[in-house]
Amino acid sequence: MLKAKNLLKYKDLIVVTFNYRLGIHGFLCLGTENIPGMKDQLALLKWIQQNIAAFGGNPKDVTIAGYSAGSISVDLLTIC
């Protein structure tokens, strides 16, 4: 599992973590395009693009990673 404190030992980087809706509140499949859990994640990535420079980050150099269900989200986000 990736831990921010371990990454910070080797690189000068900014780590952003977040929560998103899970279970039926985030990923209930009703045959529609409304997937709140993924929309939460997309909203965060847009926020990072718009605001990370204020924290010393580069909006053109963002890496996403996940563990367990988060890794599935990373795969899905790469095709959005």
Catalytic residues: 68
Q: What is the dihedral of CA 65, 68, 70, 74, to 10 degrees?
A: 60
Nearest to 16 by CA among 47, 39, 38: 47
> What's the rounded Cα separation, in Å, for the pair 5 and 31?
40
Q: What is the dihedral of CA 67, 43, 27, 30, to 10 degrees?
A: -150
